[in-house]
Structure 1
């Protein structure tokens, strides 16, 4: 029911066209001296509100109203202030279920509303907090009530995806869905059918072709709509956002892109649950019949609008598909009414009772008068009459529950959190003329890319974070900023120097193509294999380094006698922090013994150190690389990077790999030919083939000479007989 423009002081509202959807990059800038306005925000004049049924709405799709400053209509702001108190009581005064690091610097509150949560976070954390909403709220009143803060407020509609969903398919699912028993099932928002997906893909392809025809000189795809924040956030929060978006896959993907590595997302909302049914299951005795009817009608209307109500959008699969890890849920039952005996629960139940009734009064009119249920489009009078009966039923049920005549009614509050990986995900994608080209699943190229990406992810995987005690003296050593042997010098000592010696000896002093090839190849295999094995073990074991606590910089007040996780750390350098769980085995030790150990084995073989009566000089030259590797390993204990156990295992690992690769190409050191590599099987085959050909040629040549000799003998005998007869 759309109405004309309201006058200040009137409860009637005007209809204005909804603002066009645009990306944040196209938003104009404005600033205000009254509050902290971001330079990326829209101006107040850019937003055009829609007025229906005596309430004001921020656009033409969202079912909940907002405030209207010219008319002093603050009913929705009062409701959200009470709702904020219920969320606080449910978490026993906490604003979030996520344990944020004190070093958190940027926080985003999506759909901030009056900004109660954003202001609370800004007061609790020394971070830049950004609150964004599609409508303008009375922020001055909120700050005067909750307290002043330095929140950056932005005004923008984040529903920038203009694609429409398949409404008919969504409505068809109504017949197979129970609103009262499946409030969190993802089925209503499940993926499209294969035919729908094909249709959507064809539509996108046609759009791409049309774009190319309109601008044939542009081969670059137009950027997809998004939020385009200038800087990443470490924590993004959403609350009470049911039915705010149509395509939640896009929303979670955009949130994932807007988070910094290691950042967290938290989504909070609630559903009304269901009033306990009587034991006899008699339909005539179903409690709160009018409320159940209104609830079902509202759900059906939301399905017809393309934005289903309920907490479907909080299904863990959405976060997992977007790439989030460590997905966890927290649920708290909140009483509706003052039926609990506990005084604190009675207080929160009273607030929740107000929230239920005020939310119905605010949200039902647009849903039922614009979209209606499966049977009809409601009038405003029908909605108000139904709400009046429902209010009476709720109050009566609450009173009976207080007397113990019926079972109490609880609403279910839910929080779901997820973390973005510390390492960015590698996703291969190819584009041609603005159209995404997806390689076939069974192609060799795709399989090779997939295998390569899995290997990269495995090698760059973040280590397992063991829990630890702050009073553990074994990990309480100081963190040395300057190492005795840095990574650069390690590659020089254990990499460049051995490679130079091997190359010079094999190519200059004792030249030989095959020998130079297998010597350098064996050394490279030894180094790469050691690096790979060491890194895999480090990440899998996750043993804390001796200087872990110094790296961690735990937050003040962290208990010293309890097991804690890395979330108590305040270190902002992610590499320094997470490297604290990569102690076993020592990488310096394994790398140095792999490179220098291989060199020692090779020198020992070239000098024949195991032959009888070998002079001492040869032995010392062969042992010199091992002494250098041992000094590098010892330096790791002196820098408090590792303990003796880490260094010992790393040294044995590196030496074992070096010996394995050396013996693949050279005989044992006790062999008389230990300085000569094994012959190349290909060369041996070629040599044997050449000798066979030579033998065949000689045999053929001998047969030909025999035939020639026999032929010559016959000619001589024939010549003698002829001369005799002539005589």
Structure 2
């Protein structure tokens, strides 16, 4: 069996064609070179109301579900498999930093004008991207939606609003958007064609949607992580468990088709890889690898426990024992793995 290693970092599409190209941007690319120099200096072990489909954070009841020692959203319980507690908030902030490093300090790739008036951030998480975007585009009304709330801060720009909303339901926004931003929600969407249809209906003519997403499984280009190693087996198990739960962790590879089928044009795709650990050459590559390893170590149990126990039928004790092996393998500096983004 061979891994399909097509990496995806961001995919943009618009409602009609107009001559426009992405600004020049330096990504870390799709080729990572192993750095043979010691890495002793890098710490890699640390771990307006919108009917019934959207509820204002100010009036929403903040009930939660607790399981396996973590806190989860209660609104549309079970639609998203990761927690929403302080530990997860910290991890999402770390991930937000990785994206800025990846995009070389930018928040988006789509060539949107500074005069845009409406933007939407789907699955906004902690709200950091929406807040940054609202600061950069003060003329825009920016809405961030998420199943979890209120985990976003209250001290935000006046043009930034957060709503509890289910992106898999019918969208009912009173205004259409110039720009829709979507990042890292693959484990929360089962019907991608429906999702992109909602994006299409919610955009103004000429508007852009930008997807910043990952695609499983992890890759390794130099043979340093055989498929039978614990970490690579964990990735394979997770892919299978997600499929049984109705989730496609390789959906990003099909985004261009889904977008075009929904009516989008001028579809553009940019690819890169996130190294797991500071093994590649290059200062930025090393930093991304260092931070992504911390991200993954923090997410490992949260991303695994529900799928392994509910879908694969493992006991919690067996999962924890297995994840210790996986973690040890992740920390092996001889493994040169990466996530296609």
Q: TM-score range by the shorter chain?
A: 0.7 to 0.9
Residues 561-584 of structure 1: per-residue CA shift (max 9 Å, x gap): xxxxxxxxxxxxxxxxxxxxxxxx
1:305 counterpart = 2:317: no
Distance change >3 Å, CA 149–CA 382, structure 1 → 2: farther
Q: Contact conserved, 1:288 with 1:394, CA < 8 A, in 2?
A: no
**Superposition deviation, residue 28 in structure 1:** 7.7
1:105 counterpart = 2:117: yes
Cross-structure match for 2:108: 96
**Separation in structure 2 between the aligned mates of residue 247 and residue 339 of structure 1, nearest angstrom:** 36
Distance change >3 Å, CA 309–CA 333, structure 1 → 2: closer
Superposed counterparts of 1:375-454, under 5 Å: 377-396=313-332, 399-400=333-334, 408-413=336-341
Q: Contact conserved, 2:214 with 2:252, CA < 8 A, in 1?
A: no
1:25 counterpart = 2:51: yes
**Separation in structure 2 between the aligned mates of residue 340 and residue 30 of structure 1, nearest angstrom:** 44
**Separation in structure 1 between the aligned mates of residue 219 and residue 94 of structure 2, nearest angstrom:** 22
Indicate which of 276, 293, 303 corresponds to 1:363: 303
Cross-structure match for 1:611: none
Q: Secondary structure at the match of 2:294?
A: helix
**Superposition deviation, residue 26 in structure 1:** 2.5
**Separation in structure 1 between the aligned mates of residue 57 and residue 81 of structure 2, nearest angstrom:** 29
1:159 counterpart = 2:168: yes
Residues 407-446 of structure 1: per-residue CA shift (max 9 Å, x gap): x323222xxxxxxxxxxxxxxxxxxxxxxxxxxxxxxxxx
1:275 counterpart = 2:220: yes
1:56 counterpart = 2:71: yes
Q: Contact conserved, 1:233 with 1:263, CA < 8 A, in 2?
A: yes
Cross-structure match for 1:78: 90
**Superposition deviation, residue 138 in structure 1:** 3.1
Distance change >3 Å, CA 386–CA 97, structure 1 → 2: same
**Separation in structure 2 between the aligned mates of residue 139 and residue 342 of structure 1, nearest angstrom:** 34
Structure number with the bigger relative contact order (C-alpha 8 A, sep ≥ 6) is 2
Q: Contact conserved, 2:200 with 2:263, CA < 8 A, in 1?
A: yes
Unaligned runs of 5+ in 1: 1-22, 33-42, 68-73, 161-225, 280-284, 402-407, 414-727
Cross-structure match for 1:229: 173
Superposed counterparts of 1:248-647, under 5 Å: 248-271=192-215, 273-276=218-221, 278=223, 286=226, 289-312=229-252, 314-372=254-312, 377-396=313-332, 399-400=333-334, 408-413=336-341
Structure 1 or 2: more helix by fraction: 1
**Separation in structure 1 between the aligned mates of residue 230 and residue 281 of structure 2, nearest angstrom:** 28
Q: Secondary structure at the match of 2:214?
A: strand
**Separation in structure 2 between the aligned mates of residue 26 and residue 131 of structure 1, nearest angstrom:** 17
Superposed counterparts of 1:686-697, under 5 Å: none
Residues 612-639 of structure 1: per-residue CA shift (max 9 Å, x gap): xxxxxxxxxxxxxxxxxxxxxxxxxxxx
Distance change >3 Å, CA 273–CA 93, structure 1 → 2: same
Q: Secondary structure at the match of 1:400?
A: coil
Residues 503-561 of structure 1: per-residue CA shift (max 9 Å, x gap): xxxxxxxxxxxxxxxxxxxxxxxxxxxxxxxxxxxxxxxxxxxxxxxxxxxxxxxxxxx
Unaligned runs of 5+ in 2: 1-48
**Separation in structure 1 between the aligned mates of residue 210 and residue 55 of structure 2, nearest angstrom:** 29
RMSD value over aligned CA atoms? 2.4
1:131 counterpart = 2:71: no
With structure 1 as the length reference, what TM-score do the two structures score?
0.38
**Separation in structure 1 between the aligned mates of residue 270 and residue 239 of structure 2, nearest angstrom:** 24
Q: Secondary structure at the match of 1:251?
A: helix
**Separation in structure 1 between the aligned mates of residue 78 and residue 237 of structure 2, nearest angstrom:** 19
Q: Secondary structure at the match of 1:359?
A: helix
Asked which structure has the greater CA Rg, the reply is: 1
**Superposition deviation, residue 120 in structure 1:** 1.0
**Separation in structure 2 between the aligned mates of residue 355 and residue 125 of structure 1, nearest angstrom:** 29
**Separation in structure 2 between the aligned mates of residue 111 and residue 242 of structure 1, nearest angstrom:** 10
Residues 261-310 of structure 1: per-residue CA shift (max 9 Å, x gap): 1110011112353123639xxxxx82661112222221111111112223
**Superposition deviation, residue 139 in structure 1:** 2.2
**Superposition deviation, residue 27 in structure 1:** 5.1
Residues 172-209 of structure 1: per-residue CA shift (max 9 Å, x gap): xxxxxxxxxxxxxxxxxxxxxxxxxxxxxxxxxxxxxx
Cross-structure match for 2:43: none
Cross-structure match for 1:512: none
Q: Contact conserved, 2:123 with 2:147, CA < 8 A, in 1?
A: yes
**Separation in structure 1 between the aligned mates of residue 250 and residue 219 of structure 2, nearest angstrom:** 13
**Separation in structure 1 between the aligned mates of residue 54 and residue 188 of structure 2, nearest angstrom:** 23
Cross-structure match for 1:214: none
Cross-structure match for 2:60: 44
With structure 2 as the length reference, what TM-score do the two structures score?
0.78
Structure 1 or 2: more strand by fraction: 2
**Separation in structure 2 between the aligned mates of residue 115 and residue 54 of structure 1, nearest angstrom:** 24
Residues 226-266 of structure 1: per-residue CA shift (max 9 Å, x gap): 21110101101110010212211111111100111111001
Indicate which of 79, 84, 90 corresponds to 1:66: 84
**Superposition deviation, residue 333 in structure 1:** 2.0
**Separation in structure 2 between the aligned mates of residue 262 and residue 149 of structure 1, nearest angstrom:** 26
Residues 12-67 of structure 1: per-residue CA shift (max 9 Å, x gap): xxxxxxxxxxx9522586574xxxxxxxxxx331x643322112222223221212
